Structure 1
Amino acid sequence: MKKILFIALLFVSQFIVAQDKVAVFDMDGTLISESPNYALAEFAKEYSMNQIETIEDLVTELTKLSESPKYNKYLKSFFKKNDIRVYPHMMDVVDSLKKEGYKLVICTGSEVRFAKEVNKRYFNNAFDVVIGSEFRAEKLKAKNININDKEGKVDNLKSQGIMPTIVYGNSHGDFAMMKYAGNGVLVIHDDKENKEFDKPEEYIKECKQLGFKTLLISDWNLENEEAWKK
């Protein structure tokens, strides 16, 4: 067992009944690597016909791809040719919470069908619900797009009747969810060996001001099962 399992479970109240236990996870940078780029951005670049240099370009091209009848074919092709690095420590947390009876939710800025494919291929469908951004015309909201980020994540959780017990995220975009739950963990993948990006100090400072926990991946060391239970 890893020390992280014990630490993570300490963040969750021991007095919550099973049906109320809900753990919500951001995906990019929390469960999977976003270095050197977001997986969804790599996907868009591979199948787009145009240059992608800005966030606006990315949204435009993802909207076009999402409308394509070949979208699901693109997904299968992308995952066949590309690999995504999953953080093993975080999967230990996911597995442990699953065994504890938690309902597991992914709430990500990535396109929802892309995120569901990640859940299927890399997480063995461990997550019960996957919420992501919608780029398809029939799903669009105000301002032409439904980007699942910041307050948008909270709105989408509420629309599905999900009240988190705990939220795991890696950036300011996840703080709204943490505030909604009243219980958050900022996951810091400061892993220079694997070329992960350092997280801005202001994220850590604000997280502490809000009363949320921070977990630094370099502090996660292997320990035997009895040791971490003490």
Structure 2
Amino acid sequence: MHTSKTRQPARNRLSPALAALCLAALAFAGGGTLGGCAAPTEGAAAQSGAQSAQSPQAAAQALPSWRDGPARQALLKFVADTTRPGSPTFVAPADRVAVFDNDGTLWSEQPLYFQFFFLLDQVKAAAPQHPEWKSNPAFKALMANDMQALMRNEKQLLALIAAANSGMTVDEYDRTIRTWLAQAKHPKLQRPYTELVYQPQLELLSYLRANGFKTYIVSGGTIDFMRPWTEKIYGIPPEQVIGSSQAVKYTLRDGKPVLVREPKLEFIDDGPGKPVGIYRHIGRRPILAVGNSDGDLQMLEYTAGGEGPRLAVLVHHDDAEREFAYDRQSKVGKLDKALDAARAKGWTVVSMKQDWLQVYPASKP
């Protein structure tokens, strides 16, 4: 596997507090027609009634955006071993649970988590209603796109994000997310964020579902931000999205029952929180887990630590030409301890540069 590392200057790294902000601030956050590649839904996969692996010919044609190397072979072998009736490694369909991180695993995450861009845009949109923010150093830094100044004013920035992303109903927030995704573009790649999903992973999700697996997202991003679009883009319905969450309150507005977002963190679905989220929402230990960073380490350990056949997979971002190259020194999506664990425990490491023939789907007209 390709294991070269791209070092980044320490001065560009987020402090531990702000690194968590890109994640914890997400937790304060939580149609239009979304761009991207719609994947077959769980319902469609269930209708296929896939009780066993696809035929050898179908397997040979599976995952066309994956090069035929150790990573692709490990995935195909695992699916074949766990779905072949009579095999000693056969896994009943009800136990074929596969979990995927989202940021950096199913779509890109550089130079900041995409939801963080959304949160910052919400602060800018709310600014006319808050003239007092003009004297806030974090707001000044945000309007000047001064990341270094933002890092120095973490507490004030977090307060701005909380104020701009709370107080509305969950339905209002859902519409805001859909509108933003339909209009916003990545600052460097100049494509809609929902087109920056990984084509090889879309194929893997579909292949797993065609073979009776149930696919879940387990992400540090919030369920509020992901649920409006994951079914259309990934084929993963809202009830199979696990993420960070904030408090919501039931109340009546104009005589109508609504849920209102409150600026209070309830749960961070990252690091050791991921196995907890899996236990609470799924109730079954996964047999396949895919991640890309140290925030996924405990999820991979939890998955690999169960009985029977298990597969833990790490996506290594080592393709600076087609996407981004980063790992141990990255300020976002740091991959250090998990990479060492993968080598020590024999987990599958996917080299984006070597294993993927294609990174993103073709652009929409």
Indicate the TM-score class for this superposition, using the shorter chain for normalisation. Answer: 0.7 to 0.9
Aligned partner (choices 92, 103, 111) of residue 28 of structure 1: 103
Q: Is the 8 A contact 1:104 1:128 kept in 2?
A: no
State the TM-score, normalized to the length of structure 2.
Answer: 0.54
Q: What is the aligned partner in structure 2 of residue 133 from structure 1?
A: 244
Residue 287 (structure 2) pairs with residue 165 (structure 1): yes
Aligned partner (choices 2, 12, 19) of residue 94 of structure 2: 19
State the TM-score, normalized to the length of structure 1.
Answer: 0.83
Instruction: Name the amino acid aligned to 1:209.
Output: A
Residue 321 (structure 2) pairs with residue 193 (structure 1): yes
Q: Is the 8 A contact 1:44 1:58 kept in 2?
A: no
Residue 303 (structure 2) pairs with residue 175 (structure 1): no
Instruction: Name the amino acid aligned to 1:119.
Output: T
Rg bigger for which structure? 2
Give the distance between the partners of 1:58 and 1:210, measured in 2 at CA: 40
1:92 Cα deviation from its structure 2 partner: 1.2
Residue 68 (structure 2) pairs with residue 68 (structure 1): no
Distance 1:125 1:81, change over 3 A: same
Q: What is the aligned partner in structure 2 of residue 218 from structure 1?
A: 353
Q: What is the aligned partner in structure 2 of residue 79 from structure 1?
A: 181
Instruction: Name the amino acid aligned to 1:88.
Output: Q
Identical counterparts, % of pairs: 26
Distance 1:32 1:23, change over 3 A: same
Distance 1:192 1:89, change over 3 A: same
Gaps of 5+ in 1: 223-230
Give the distance between the partners of 1:123 and 1:59, measured in 2 at CA: 30
Aligned partner (choices 191, 208, 211) of residue 343 of structure 2: 208
Distance 1:106 1:136, change over 3 A: same
Distance 1:30 1:217, change over 3 A: same
Q: What is the aligned partner in structure 1 of residue 273 from structure 2?
A: 152
Give the distance between the partners of 2:173 and 2:237, measured in 1 at CA: 24
Q: Is the 8 A contact 2:278 2:285 kept in 1?
A: yes
Aligned partner of residue 110 in structure 1, secondary structure: strand
Q: Which moved more, 1:161-170 or 1:58-67?
A: 58-67
1:126 Cα deviation from its structure 2 partner: 6.2
Q: What is the aligned partner in structure 1 of residue 49 from structure 2?
A: none
Q: Which moved more, 1:51-60 or 1:70-79?
A: 51-60
Distance 1:20 1:43, change over 3 A: same
Q: Which moved more, 1:199-208 or 1:50-59?
A: 50-59
Q: Is the 8 A contact 1:108 1:149 kept in 2?
A: yes
Distance 1:58 1:157, change over 3 A: farther
Q: What is the aligned partner in structure 2 of residue 225 from structure 1?
A: none
1:56 Cα deviation from its structure 2 partner: 5.7
1:90 Cα deviation from its structure 2 partner: 1.1
1:11 Cα deviation from its structure 2 partner: 4.3
Give the distance between the partners of 2:227 and 2:319, measured in 1 at CA: 26
Gaps of 5+ in 2: 1-63, 83-89, 128-137, 143-149, 185-191, 250-259, 305-310, 329-334, 358-365
1:216 Cα deviation from its structure 2 partner: 0.6
Distance 1:67 1:180, change over 3 A: farther
1:59 Cα deviation from its structure 2 partner: 5.3
**Root-mean-square deviation over aligned CA pairs:** 2.7
Q: Which moved more, 1:196-205 or 1:169-178?
A: 196-205
Residue 230 (structure 2) pairs with residue 119 (structure 1): yes
- Deviations along 1:116-163, one digit per CA (max 9) or x if unpaired, are 1230342244686000111234599xx944111011111111112131
State the number of aligned residues. Answer: 220
